[in-house]
Amino acid sequence: MSIIIHSHTRILVQGATGKEGRFWVKHMIDYGTKVVAGVTPGKEGELVENIPVYHTVRRAMDHHPVDASLLFVPPRFAMGAIFEALDAGIKTIVVTADGIPLHEQVQIRRAAKSVGATVIGGNTTGIISTGKSMMGFFPFWLERVYKPGRIGIMTRSGSLTNEITAQIVKAGFGSTSIVGVGGDAVPFTRFAELLPLFQEDPNTAAVVMIGEVGGTMEEEVAESMKNGLFTKPLIAVMGGRTAPKGTKMGHAGAIITAGKGTVDDKIQALTQAGALVADRPSMVGTLLQRKLGSPCVSL
């Protein structure tokens, strides 16, 4: 099993004819992902890796059943493209664009919640159900990183994800699903909103959370654990823990507000809730072994 997307998920790519779109559509198909159509206004009739391209989402859905949409569009067009997909009835959307205006981020999250849709991003590497399907840009060909297994991973940091996932594989585990929530100030889906999905997945034995300084998402996870909404083992590793106090971090989401958001705040909240917090990435595998035991079969 996996969460959000599966081997049978039929995926539309908005912005499929651009440079990034073409590159990653090929790799998604190579991975086994069911890409059924692309959308670029004015490009109807073209093919990308033998996948037909249409002017609009609705025209694509007139010809193909679609379960999810992946956006490779510039930030200034992202809200319009997301609303087009939502209006067409698509309930799973992944948004890679970095730098969507803050007021638009708020509108997008509100609109998605109002129709019960899951929008991942912005500024995300996407979602990968390991060994099955991918929406985004993961270097899945790195065998030391992307091995199927029983650990769910949710992350704010694209740069740390490969390193920590490699440590999980090194310890003898692999991953069920990896979800990048993105680094923007208003994530369209937050960590705590992913926990019920991992909780319900029978093949996910534990979750690794790759957090960062700033924001309150990690504290929200701690609150969910305290309230019994997530009961599986959770291992956390925090980016930015060695940054000098007062240092401005790179992500828009890395903002400390209202006495929350420091790494110390997050570690204290998570520890009190029963999570294990790794001091460094190399400890993640050891902590998983402490909670789950050493795997019988090496990956």
**Catalytic site positions:** 251
Distance CA 214, CA 260 (A): 8
Amino acid at 25: V
Both structure tokens of 218: 């990690």
Chain position carrying tokens 């999905």: 197
